Amino acid sequence: MTELTTVTLASNELHQLIQTKLEKAGLHSSHADEVAKHLTFADACGIHSHGAVRVDYYAERIAKGGVTLDPKTTFEKTGPSTGIFHGDNGVGQYVANEALKEAVQMVKESGVAVVGISKMSHSGALSYYVKQAAEQNLIGIAMCQSDPMVVPFGGSENYYGTNPIAFAAPRKEGAPIVFDMATTVQAWGKVLDARSKNKEIPDTWAVDKDGKPTTDPHKVHGLLPISGPKGYGLMMMVDILSGVLLGLPFGKRVSSMYDKISEGRNLGQLYILIDPSRFTDLEEFKEKIELTVADLHDIKPAEGFDQVYYPGEISVLNYEKSQAEGIEIEKNIYEYLKSDTVHFDQYGGKGAFAE
């Protein structure tokens, strides 16, 4: 009989395991609850790179003082539709969610809100935040910077991070459309996920220390931008809007996820929220989004495909399925979550790729 390598859990069970572990590391219950909601959501969507696989790292950073446990967060309104949420290096998911609340309040007053988050820790999958905006009949755009681990097009040294972008919009029926992407061929978390499963990665994702394509997730020295110069341009845009614009470290100056794990990361994130009712009839807008989805579904699929999906739809389907059938995670991660071990002391002092 083949030994099971994964475990299937109900959402509330996974959430509780994560929350308990983060509380043992030192995080307040309300903050740990928000992180657990986020990571459970990511795993439910099949975005395992931003799910429970991150708990060990978060627990180590929290336990070693790299997250402000009692952040003195403030919201600085800089104009009718602009503001900066100062996160004081609190745990990323909590800070990002509090900033989102301010942005939602602002967009309901002014029709558009551009809110930057200054000094925060890693905030996880951006889809979590823009989905919340879309559920309130808003268009949501989010982007954030990350530490340098990407070889720029034509270069041989890392400069930018994976610098993701996410977008969401409400529709007439069904869940909002949500699209979330790294500006690299794959996010670093996908490599981390491959390591946890002891699986190879495609040779188009990354290069080794000699700049050659690698399939070994443990030999990754630099990630590659999506579509070459186009992805390179997008990651520059994200870095400028979520770093330079907020007066934060940028490019190769962005703090390492692992190196100085006992210090705050001072990361930046940016929300752009739009109230579609300020531009068109809201119901008509939502009906057209619904029609867009229907049009895409009606397109004849190419050979080897069963259907055309809108960007991000697979994650939505994964989420719906997981609510009925449970969330699958790696057995070794499950065993860690239910153990008395707070963290494995394996990240601090390491480079961008935890080596």
> Is the pLDDT assigned to residue 197 strictly greater than 90?
no
Q: Is 60 exceeded by the pLDDT of residue 78?
A: yes
Q: Annotated active-site positions, please?
A: 122
What is the pLDDT, as a whole number, of residue 4? 65
d(CA 181, CA 184): 8
| pLDDT band for position 3 (cuts 50, 70, 90) | low
Distance between CA atoms of 116 and 178, rounded to whole angstroms? 21
Phi, psi of 223 (to 5 degrees): -85, 165
pLDDT digits (tens, 9 = 90+) for 122-149: 999 999 999 999 999 999 999 999 999 9
Delineate the domains of the chain, giving CATH numbers in brackets: 71-282 (3.30.1370.60), 284-312 (no CATH)
For residue 239, name the pLDDT band (cuts at 50, 70, 90).
very high
* Residue 146, token pair as written in the block: 């990350």
Q: What secondary structure, in 3-state letters, does 277-314 show?
A: HHCCCHHHHHHHHHHHHHHHHHCCCCCCCCCCCCCCHH
User: Quick one: DSSP state of residue 172?
Assistant: S
HSE of 141, CA atoms in CB hemisphere, 13 A: 11
Res 1: pLDDT: 42
**For residue 14, what are the CA distances in angstroms to 100, 140, 311, 330, 333?**
25, 27, 27, 12, 11
In the chain, the amino acid numbered 50 is H
Residue 105 has pLDDT above 70, yes or no: yes
DSSP state of 168: E
Q: What is the mean pLDDT of residues 283-312?
A: 97
Angstrom distance (rounded) from CA 24 to CA 117: 27
DSSP single-letter state for residue 113:
E
Global pTM reads 0.94
pLDDT averaged over every residue in the chain: 95
Pairing state between β 112-120 and 139-144: unpaired
pLDDT, mean of residues 244-268: 96
Top pLDDT among 221 and 341 is at: 341
Whether the CB-CB separation of 313 and 322 falls below 8 Å is answered with no
